[in-house]
Structure 1
Amino acid sequence: MVQLNKKDWRVKQKKSLKSYQGVNRSQEERALRQLLLQMASWKTAKRVALTLSLPFELDTQPLIKAAWQANKQVVVPQIKNQQMAFVEITPQTSYQVGPLGILEPCDVSIVQSETIDLVITPGLAFTKTGKRLGFGAGYYDRFLVNYAGPTVALALSCQIVPDLPQDKYDQRIMTILFNDHC
């Protein structure tokens, strides 16, 4: 079997995620969110890092709302000058499209990484042992190398793969939540 390089994996995974739609996906996303909400690291976190998901990614809006309902602060990544920082959002936050085509909050202040209690990490593919295939810019890997808190990824069934190519700078995710019943 020919091993795919990261670029080919990204193309394959984006296509797979975009085509995975309907009731099964909705049920799987809901089940993954419930798994996260039951985790001790979620329950004890006061400040949670999430992403503003793209249409083909697992929808993070229900998690953002759940965090606010639980009186947690929510921070999201923002890219400025080729650097990723986290900024707080609230229900009143206004947004603009950032340099990667992702919504970013307007007029916010940067949150220090050591004050983040839990990072929900995005990705295109994951192994059950914590390997992650990101989007290719390296922002999360550079952030995670200095982040000491818990990291979690929510992986749809089409995102769980047996193995992924890894480089020396790739950071593993502590916990990969996935649905064993798919």
Structure 2
Amino acid sequence: MMKKQELREIYKAKRNSLTKDELTLMDHQLLEQLQQYDWTSIRYLHLYLAIEKFKEYNTWPFIKWIWKQYPEINLVTSISNFQTNELRHYQLEPDTVLLVNDWGIPEPSGAKEIEAKEIDAVLTPLLLVDIKGNRVGYGKGFYDRFLATCKAEVIKLGIAYFEPVEIIEDVNEWDVPIDLLFTPGKTFYLLG
């Protein structure tokens, strides 16, 4: 059993040590897992845009696939407020202008704002989860705050390069677990 900060350091180092070839293969395997999921009940899908320097999974191949295969799904992404550690959500379309913020996060400019309660599924970035769906991210709580404002039946999804660990020791009452984790080669339905 380990605490979030220990796990965060270990898994950031593990992810940073992945080679370009390893990432290319894992990204392809992750896309295959995402393509096998049943997206038909989703009307508003929130997803993140990767911070390239942190070697997050690049969601763009998946975004382009959704636009082609499920044109009825409205894609949504966020703008981060680093004073409040909160997210505001905006529709993402093929012609949406993106500006990279100081943290390296691409954010929409001039897009239509979407309320959190409209969102049917959220695809969260993370470093790892445990088998109960408890997440370890970068420690600012952006997604816990966001998920707490979504409707009760929102589907909480995650993407990680690593399989779930047994248990994260220091889970807080405000932590919002995810339901399902996509990894290269396998999708995990979690116990949360």
Report the TM-score, using the length of structure 1 for normalisation.
Answer: 0.85
What's the secondary structure of 1:45's corresponding residue? coil
What's the secondary structure of 2:32's corresponding residue? helix
Deviations 1:139-178 (A, max 9, x none): 1001112322111112213x53222231121110011223
**Alignment partner of 2:160 out of 134, 149, 155:** 155
Deviation for aligned residue 1:99: 4.9
Deviation for aligned residue 1:36: 2.1
CA distance in 1, matches of 2:102, 2:20: 30
* C-alpha contact 2:33 2:182 (8 A) present in aligned 1: yes
CA distance in 1, matches of 2:77, 2:149: 17
Deviation for aligned residue 1:53: 0.6
Q: Structure 1 residues 44 and 34 mapped into 2: Cα distance closer, same or farther (>3 Å)?
A: farther
* C-alpha contact 2:2 2:167 (8 A) present in aligned 1: no
* C-alpha contact 1:52 1:103 (8 A) present in aligned 2: yes
1:18 paired residue number: 16
Task: Map 1:5-154 to 2 at 5 A.
Answer: 5-40=3-38, 42-55=39-52, 56-69=55-68, 70-71=70-71, 72-80=73-81, 82=84, 83-147=86-150, 148=152, 149-154=154-159
Deviation for aligned residue 1:52: 0.6
Q: Give % identity.
A: 26
* C-alpha contact 2:117 2:149 (8 A) present in aligned 1: no
Deviations 1:94-151 (A, max 9, x none): 2222253311111223201122121111111112331111211111001112322111
Structure 2 residue identity aligned to 1:118: A
Question: What is the alpha-carbon root mean square deviation over aligned residues?
Answer: 2.1
CA distance in 1, matches of 2:129, 2:24: 19
* C-alpha contact 2:79 2:89 (8 A) present in aligned 1: yes
Q: 4+ residue stretches of structure 1 with deviation over 6 A?
A: none
CA distance in 2, matches of 1:79, 1:39: 28
1:167 paired residue number: 172
Deviations 1:44-79 (A, max 9, x none): 212211111112011111111112112122111112
Where in structure 1 are there 5+ consecutive unaligned residues?
none
Structure 2 residue identity aligned to 1:160: P
